[in-house]
Amino acid sequence: MKWESLLALLGHEPVFSSALMLAGNVSVAQVRLQLSRWAKAGRLLQLRRGVYILAPAWRKAEPHPFLVANMLQRGSCVSLQSALAFHGVIPEHVPVVTSVGPGRPETVRNPLGAFQFSHVARGLLYGYTRLEVAPRQFAFVACPEKALLDLVHLTPGADSPAYLCELRLQNTDAMSAQVLHELAERSGRPKLLRAARLAGPLLSAEGELL
Q: Do residues 120 and 47 both lie within one domain?
A: no
User: Within this chain, do residues 43 and 10 fall inside the same structural domain, yes or no?
Assistant: yes
- For residue 62, the number of C-alpha atoms closer than 13 Å in the C-beta half-sphere is 6
pLDDT at residue 20, rounded to an integer? 81
Whether 40 maps to a domain, the answer reads yes
Helix (H, G, I), strand (E, B) or coil at 96: strand
At residue 78, the pLDDT reads 98
Q: Residue 14 domain-assigned?
A: yes
Same structural domain for residues 143 and 39?
Answer: no
- Into how many domains does the chain fold? 2
Of 42, 58, 74, which closes a domain?
58
Q: 20: domain range?
A: 3-58
Specify whether 18 is located in the same domain as 114.
Answer: no
* 26 shares a domain with 85: no
Instruction: Say which amino acid occupies 165.
Output: C
Residues 140 and 190 both lie in one domain: yes
User: Is 36 among the domain residues?
Assistant: yes
Do the domain assignments include residue 37?
A: yes
At 10 the pLDDT is 84
Tell me: do 172 and 141 sit in the same domain: yes
Same domain, 188 and 101: yes
Please check whether residue 69 lies inside any domain of the structure. yes
CA distances from 19 to 27, 31, 55, 115, 130 (A): 12, 10, 19, 21, 22
DSSP labels for 109-145? EETTEEEEEEE--GGG--SEEEEEEETTEEEEEE-HH
- pLDDT 10s per residue in the chain (210 long)? 789 988 988 888 999 998 887 766 778 888 889 999 999 999 999 999 999 999 999 999 899 999 999 999 999 999 999 999 999 999 878 899 999 999 999 999 999 999 999 999 999 999 999 999 999 999 999 999 999 999 999 999 999 999 999 999 998 889 999 999 999 999 999 999 999 999 988 886 444 443
Name, in order, each residue with C-beta under 8 angstroms of 163's C-beta and a sequence gap of 6 or more. 155, 157
Looking at the fold, whether 13 and 80 belong to one and the same domain comes out as no
- Contact by Cβ (8 Å): 92, 81: yes
Identify the pLDDT of residue 12: 87
Residue 76, number of CB atoms within 10 A of its CB? 24
Q: Are residues 91 and 191 in the same domain?
A: yes
DSSP 21: G
Residues 74 and 127 in one domain: yes
What's the CATH number where 34 sits? 1.10.10.10
Whether 210 is covered by a domain: the verdict is no
> CA-CA distance, 60 to 54, in Å (whole number)?
9
141 domain residue, yes or no: yes
Q: Are residues 76 and 167 in the same domain?
A: yes
| Residue 209 lies inside a defined structural domain of this protein | no
